[in-house]
Structure 1
């Protein structure tokens, strides 16, 4: 099941020691609240409790005192993540099958056996530029830290497949 290293530790590590220029880019992307992210672990008991109580079909936390609906608004209020009007997996921004950017992005991880949040975090820490490849690394780390509800170590590439260079990420939910 989930442990400390599989939750927020990699995001915490990536968000500390960033340059002013990179912090500006993160702010422009709508993720200012994640700069200097203060949480380096989620207690295992809390993670198990949330997983046990979460109904993923209805996105309700079934608590002893009643249900708590998890909505884009809730996520925005609690974590400060952008709440845009466009769904991530809409057909508006679908990357072509042999997109050169996707190949370039994946090339950064050619020495990794699997694409994980740990690998993405390490890549962000090495970044010195604010090009789109950094933005994609950041979005992939955030999405795979907060947006997946399974036990897999392998990062999902949904963001890579659905966010294009010309997209305004503040408009994506």
Structure 2
């Protein structure tokens, strides 16, 4: 049998909004899912429709620090090193890799917002190669005077303003089209 206090508290429960918490946040779960598929399918050409401020584009444009070392002529244009620099790991997507690496060569973003595309351009732009004359050591995995990792694999990134109602020949033959959080 229900008491008066029981019926009052259940009426309050009916009007109260339930809150749901996702861990990690739902947008991160979606991004992880997208990245997992891109890795599994070994995708190298991505079009992000509704890219917004470039959150996914920025993740895809970040170079991998475990890639093979760059050619010596790039690191030492005027001389040869005493000891050759090699990559700490060589993980270029072999069948034994538990998690394949992304090797994006072409990245395209499309959005209708000019303002958002300005942020996306900043998100995917390579860091300024700041010269640091005081630093005599060369770290082949970083831009000189910066904490940003160097991209040794070639990649093209383009941003387009507009929507899908206009045919863009640039998008023909794209390997993978992504649209999330739109």
> Under TM normalisation by the shorter chain, which class is it?
under 0.3
| Structure number, greater radius of gyration | 2
Q: Scaled by the length of structure 2, what TM-score is found?
A: 0.25
Q: Which has the higher strand share?
A: 2
Q: Scaled by the length of structure 1, what TM-score is found?
A: 0.25
Q: Which has the higher helix share?
A: 1
